[in-house]
Amino acid sequence: MYTEPDVDDWDSEDELPLSYVAKESVVWTKDYTLATHPTPFEEPYGPNVSEDIETPLDNFLLFFMPEFFKKLVSESNLYATQEHGDRFTPTNLEEIKCFFGINILMGLTKKPSYKDYWSSKFEMRDPFISSAMSRDRFDCFAPLAHEQ
């Protein structure tokens, strides 16, 4: 004959059969009340970066390592050579960084067309972008700046 085990015979609640574990009953109410209060966060927070970051460029380079730009130069030159042969002047690190920066600036100051940054109309032209790189050179990079 089967008899149910006595709860006192078990060493811990983890070993109890599920039928003996008390079920928490849920009481639904119309008002939302938070039963527990979150523990205050007391650990140090904020950016954990070196103190020798002095310029926006130093900060930018925390996210885009030199290897990224070197790979971009290498792949862009390889692609351009395969597609255009001798008609393409190879690029370098400084020019790729300039192209990358121009794209970031274009995202911050939107114009109806990307060509407007080099417009002959004073009110449309962006003197900083247009002096950093010619539109023709920028157009060369647009399809080339990719990483495989």
Q: Give residue-wise pLDDT tens across range 116-147.
A: 999 999 999 999 999 999 999 999 887 765 44
Instruction: Assess if residue 3 is contained within a domain.
Output: no
Instruction: Assess if residue 121 is contained within a domain.
Output: yes
- pLDDT at position 47, please? 74
pLDDT in tens, 67-84: 999 999 999 899 888 888
Instruction: Assess if residue 11 is contained within a domain.
Output: no
Instruction: Assess if residue 105 is contained within a domain.
Output: yes
Total structural domains in the chain?
A: 1
User: How confident is the prediction for the chain on average, in pLDDT?
Assistant: 82
- pLDDT at position 148, please? 41
Domain range enclosing 41:
21-148
Instruction: Assess if residue 87 is contained within a domain.
Output: yes
| Burial (Cβ within 10 Å: 0-12, 13-18, ≥19) of residue 52 | exposed
